[in-house]
Amino acid sequence: MSLSPRRHATELETISVTVPPEAVEAYESALATVCATIGIFELDDSQTLWRVEGVKDTGNGEDELRAALILAALTSGVDAELERSHTEAEGWLARTYESFPEQLAGKRFAIRGTHLEDAPSPQRITITLDAGVAFGSGEHGSTRGCLRALEMVAYRRPQRILDLGCGSGILAMAAAALLHKPVLATDIDPWSVRVTKRNAAMNGLANLVDCHLGNGWATPAIRHHAPYDLVFANILARPLCSMAADLALNLLPGGTAILAGLLNTQVRMVLAAHRRHRLVLERHLREGDWGTLILRKPHG
């Protein structure tokens, strides 16, 4: 589905928070509970402050938003003030298009909005997203790091693939398109599950990307298909640490885990949690302040 410049049936408002980089993903998830589009904007060249903003129907989902913001503050340790402003539908659409140019990631991938009219590069695997629901649009350092990591491990030809916390489904779709293998995608957020299913269908990958609502490793679909030889977990540093034992248990010997959603300053903490369960670091990739870890489960 692509957006068209039409008048919205109800009043729109933009809600936003200004946060340090370590709180971006928590507040991105919070705003995504009620917003049809999420944007992340760097406020200065030092990458010390970012604005996370979304557009919603005025007055819609206030209870859900309030609860999500409380959760974001607790998980990130940053209590951000919510700002609101009236938004004209046509102006919002134009700004959304402008802020979502084609994103090139790694050597193989291009993330493009449905509003772009020029032909995609035939040398890259193109993943198309609706600019109106493009939270997780490929511009975030953690997503870009995961796509680079996928390119590095693709030669292992994994057969059982899991995207844990799939967001908009970029990683699941990228793995399915590159490896031509089925991918199980899960997320705790119903909106993410709906968007991933929509995006997979839009990209002709509905037969390869199987998306389910669930809470981490307790998700029945994850337990049914385990163990895996490739797992993406692009979430947050502390949840990654708490799930290290389950990850190790559900990886096949020789299997690979690609972990992201953590700052480079949090790498040591996340790595220590996984080393306790005998997972071995292969690579630490950097995208600005954000780190991506490629871990391997030894044979034997």
Binding residues: 143, 165, 187, 234
Q: How many whole angstroms separate alpha carbon 238 and alpha carbon 241?
A: 5
Residue 47 falls in which region: left (phi positive, over 0), alpha (psi -120 to 50) or beta: left
In this structure, what DSSP letter does residue 110 have?
Answer: E
Report the binding-site residues for S-adenosyl-L-methionine: 143, 165, 187, 234
Q: How many whole angstroms separate alpha carbon 102 and alpha carbon 116?
A: 8
User: Which helix (H) or strand (E) covers residue 296, if one does?
Assistant: strand 290-296
65: nearest Cα among 88, 95, 38: 38
Q: Do 166 and 172 touch, CB atoms closer than 8 A? A: yes
Cis before residue 20, ω within 30 degrees of 0?
Answer: no
Phi, psi for 262 (deg, rounded to 5):
-120, 150
